[in-house]
A and B are shown apart, each in its own frame.
Chain A
Amino acid sequence: MNAFDKMQEQNLETFEKGPRQQMRNELTGTLGTIRFLGSVADVYLNRMVDTFIGMAGGLNPKQEEPNPDDGGRSRSVRPTNEGYPNK
């Protein structure tokens, strides 16, 4: 075993006697937090983007087209086949 191998062996022993479990615990916590934040971002990021687009005046694809009779101010269409009067 040469000097470099001996040094690695010594450092591995230091690891086993010292920070091995503490490092494991801290890493588990860190990676768990990162995974959680990633999951939250996956769920809410799309909704946040849609909200910002809506606030900026963009059309939500789920919204129906505006009524052309009122210059587009209205954002909902009253269905004509349900007896609602058109103004």
Chain B
Amino acid sequence: MQDIDVIHLYLKGQASRCFNLLYERYGGKIYAKCLSMLGSEAEAQDAAQEVFTKVFLNLAKFNEKSKFSTWVYSITYNFCIDYIRRKKKEKAIFSDDIERAPDIEEDDIPDKVLLELNLEQLEKVLMSLQSTDRAILLMKYQDGMPIKAIAQHFNKTESAIKMQIKRAKERARKLRGEYTIEEPA
């Protein structure tokens, strides 16, 4: 049964069966993303429960303009970002300077700088980033979202998003001890 059919059934009153279906499909992934964002299993569990509750309380508002999974993960990332900001009192992530920056050229640092990290290195890189940057990397490299969609989610320009990704790669490269720019193949 497709997600949208499950949602329609849920809204018609078959709550228990539909809850179980959606929980099996998304419970683990919501938790996994919360754990990647928050770095703590206990916090990830609390966050995942709140996200799931939020998803179910707002199912009637899902407007089918995007995939259900995209909608669920958006709620997940937004919740985690807000949680981190409240907890750490993070300052605004996107400064006006970045917004006014000229369009950057295509990112010249290869993706493999991030993709070939081991798990421990990747966790260090993610935890060293601000919450929004973490979400951007997960959206791009884990969820496969295009830059345009990520920019729309955060209501920012594509250049701003590319800049954040490039900075994350630079941080990863420093972590691995690489100081020379690799020539693209």
Closest B-chain residue to A9, C-beta based? B32
- Whether B122 sits at the interface, judged by CB under 8 Å, is yes
- Whether B35 sits at the interface, judged by CB under 8 Å, is yes
Residues of B within 8 Å of A3, CB to CB, are 114-119, 121-122
Kindly supply a per-residue 1/0 record for chain A positions 1-21, scoring 1 wherever the CB is within 8 Å of any chain B CB and 0 otherwise. Answer: 011111110111011101110
- Whether B141 sits at the interface, judged by CB under 8 Å, is yes
Total interface residues on A, using CB and 8 Å? Answer: 26
Kindly supply a per-residue 1/0 record for chain B positions 35-50, scoring 1 wherever the CB is within 8 Å of any chain A CB and 0 otherwise. Answer: 1100001000100110
Chain B contact residues (Cβ within 8 angstroms of A): what range? Answer: 20 to 34
- Whether A30 sits at the interface, judged by CB under 8 Å, is yes
A35 shortest CB reach to chain B, Å? 7
Kindly supply a per-residue 1/0 record for chain B positions 8-36, scoring 1 wherever the CB is within 8 Å of any chain A CB and 0 otherwise. Answer: 00000001000100010001110111011
Closest B-chain residue to A24, C-beta based? B23
Complex Cα distance, B138 from A8, in Å, reads: 10
Count of inter-chain pairs, beta carbons less than 8 A: 83
Closest B-chain residue to A22, C-beta based? B45
Q: Determine chain B's interface SS by DSSP, over half rule.
A: helix
Residues of A within 8 Å of B115, CB to CB, are 2-4
B26 shortest CB reach to chain A, Å? 11
Residues of A within 8 Å of B19, CB to CB, are 27-28, 31
- Whether B56 sits at the interface, judged by CB under 8 Å, is yes
Known: A26-B49, A27-B53. A4 touches B142 (CB 8 A): yes
Closest B-chain residue to A35, C-beta based? B15
Contact A31 B122 (CB under 8 A): no
Complex Cα distance, B118 from A34, in Å, reads: 43
Closest B-chain residue to A10, C-beta based? B119
- Whether A48 sits at the interface, judged by CB under 8 Å, is no
Contact A23 B142 (CB under 8 A): no
A2 shortest CB reach to chain B, Å? 4
B20 shortest CB reach to chain A, Å? 8
Interchain Cβ contacts under 8 Å between A and B, 13 examples: A3-B117, A3-B121, A4-B138, A7-B119, A7-B122, A8-B142, A15-B28, A15-B32, A15-B35, A19-B45, A24-B23, A24-B27, A31-B15
Report B's interface with A, CB cutoff 8 A. 15, 19, 23, 27-29, 31-33, 35-36, 41, 45, 48-49, 52-53, 56-57, 114-119, 121-123, 137-138, 141-142
Report A's interface with B, CB cutoff 8 A. 2-8, 10-12, 14-16, 18-20, 22-24, 26-28, 30-31, 34-35
4 nearest A-B pairs in the assembled complex, by CB-CB distance: A11-B32, A2-B115, A4-B142, A4-B141
